[in-house]
Chains A and B, each alone.
Chain A
Amino acid sequence: MTIAERPTVVLRDHDAIRQALFDPNLTRTFDSRSYHEGNIRDGVVSVSHGAVHRARRRVENSQFRADRLRLYERELFPAVLDDLLGVLIEGDTADIFPIGELLSVVLAARRAGLDIDDHDLPTLRDLVHMVDVFSQGSAILDARDPDAVRALVRQTYDDIEARYIRPAWERRARILESTAGGDGAAAEELPHDILTVLLQHRADPALELGDDGRIVREVATYLQGGTHTSAQTVTNAIDLSFGLPDEGRALIDRAAADLALAQRVIHETLRLRPTTPKMKRRALAATTIAGVDIPAEALVVLDAANANRDPELFGPDPDTFDPDRRVAPGVARWGLSFGAGPHQCPGRSVAGGFPVGDDLATGEDHLYGLVALMFQAVAKRGPRPDPTRSPERDTRTERETRWAHYPVRFERGAPG
């Protein structure tokens, strides 16, 4: 049964969608033919289900512990911002989306397990190009030309393996071999990243990583996930800010001085413009969600974009961009944009930081997320719409939230 032939059930309510995201009868694996045999995302964690998915996440989640996140947010990323922004912004104009990608790809590559020079712009641009291809692959269900996307993604897996993953793999394999041979000093050299933990645990059959291609695709998935969404979100945050009175001047200036507000800008942006506005699942077996009977093999569409605008949860003006809004207790300010349940975005706390409570307070241990740091760094330069060049959407996808170019003009230079 193809996706088009399946009975379709659409859930639009916040609680019903949350319930669906926790229901083990619903899978992200759509059908065995197109999702396993020749599937461009075969075996990656985001489309795996059940025991394999849990085993993979247990290993990979070790790279998203609070101590790692603090290192990223308080030491590594501020240095990347300092080093790269001055190089990437020449004069008083810039294209925000590619800059967001170049900033994001540095740490995404490090977390995925690629050994790159953080300052090597040609390499960063090469990786961003690959991320762009993988992003088209991850949105294959909304692609305008799926066959062309599949061919391009397959070629790019070969390229990233040859140029980046295989050298990193061989280095880690040598260290792991020395470690296994009792060389304690070698263990100190072992990087902390997704590729390393996959190689460390590869022999565990529960992970289903016998095929080298799966490791390549998994590493590429983390590279893409850590880059594209962050860059799109910071661009959408700028776009929504420009839609406010006086082109968002007051909000942008406040955020430049207040990281907690910059974080709420990002959460509000994610609420209004989720990366995946409609999540899709397949019913492995008949189930009932919030009183709705779902037959086996049904396609279940979870309309997060609608649920994120529920006035009962987000106030009487849910369509308005208001980073200071109050939301119902226990509800995330970003709505369902990071998903929920076992497939909740593993990079949620990297990109979005920790959730903000009802009182908007943030304690000493609070993390604000790398996208908020990016937004604030841009805000400090006083971005305004570029009157000479219009933003361009990414027309290769049906998703309205994706940008290709977003030119801005800066009122101020780099902060001193």
Chain B
Amino acid sequence: MPARVIVDPDLCIGSAECNRLAPEAFRLDEDLGVSVPLPGAGLVDRERLYDAEAGCPTGAITIGEDEEEAAG
């Protein structure tokens, strides 16, 4: 089952750690200076998504199950 991948744009500081840890799942929006999930991010290996979640310096990333409402 695909994961639900959320980046809170109010918390993100554009460190690009998620992009380094899981480049298939996140990209930097250089205009806004924040990360955004790529289409299909939920299908990326779950461990890599959790690494990105844990590596985010501001806790802006939430990885949840697709059908549940992940907490912001």
Contacts and interface: CB of A to CB of B under 8 A. Distances in A.
A367 B20 CA distance: 11
B16 A58 contact: no
Nearest to B30: A62
B32 interface: yes
Interface stretch (B38-46, B53-61, B62-70): B53-61
Given A341-B57, A341-B58, A342-B57, A65 B28 contact: yes
B55 to A, nearest CB: 9
Contacts of B57: 340-342, 344
B54 A61 contact: no
Contacts, number: 45
A164 interface: no
B14 interface: yes
Contact of A57 (B10, B13, B20, B59): B13
A22 B59 contact: yes
B36 to A, nearest CB: 13
A62 B58 CA distance: 16
A157 to B, nearest CB: 26
Contacts of A72: none
Contact of B14 (A57, A66, A340, A344): A57
Interface size range on A against B: 10 to 19
Nearest to B59: A22
Contacts of A387: none
Interface residues of B, number: 18
A370 B16 CA distance: 19
B14 A58 contact: yes
A62 B13 CA distance: 10
B13 A58 contact: yes
Contact of B33 (A58, A66, A330, A354): A58
A58 B58 contact: no
Given A57-B14, A61-B14, A66 B58 contact: no
Contacts of B20: 66, 354
Residue of A61, A344, A346, A354 ringed by the most chain B CB atoms within 10 A: A61
A22 B58 CA distance: 7
B30 A61 contact: no
Interface in B21-35: 28, 30, 32-34
Given A22-B59, A344-B15, A354-B20, A58 B54 contact: no
Contacts of A57: 13-15
Interface string A45-57: 0000000011001
B16 A61 contact: yes
Contacts of B30: 62
Contact of B58 (A59, A64, A342, A354): A342
Contacts of A22: 58-59
A360 to B, nearest CB: 17
B32 A58 contact: yes
A53 B15 CA distance: 13
B54 A62 contact: no
Interface string A89-120: 00000000000000000000000000000000
Contacts of B16: 61, 64-66
Contacts of B58: 22, 54, 341-342
Residue of B16, B30, B34, B59 ringed by the most chain A CB atoms within 10 A: B16
B26 to A, nearest CB: 13
B28 A59 contact: no
A342 B34 CA distance: 13
Given A57-B14, A330-B54, A62 B59 contact: no
Nearest to A349: B20
Nearest to A21: B57
A59 B28 CA distance: 12
B11 A54 contact: yes
B59 A61 contact: no
Contacts of B54: 330
Given A54-B13, A341-B58, 8 more contacts: A57-B15, A58-B14, A58-B32, A58-B33, A61-B14, A61-B33, A64-B16, A65-B28
4 closest A-B pairs (Cβ-Cβ)? A58-B33, A57-B13, A61-B14, A58-B14
25 contacts: A22-B58, A22-B59, A53-B13, A54-B10, A54-B12, A54-B13, A54-B58, A57-B15, A58-B13, A58-B32, A58-B33, A58-B34, A59-B33, A61-B15, A62-B30, A62-B33, A64-B15, A64-B16, A65-B28, A66-B19, A66-B20, A340-B57, A341-B57, A342-B13, A342-B57
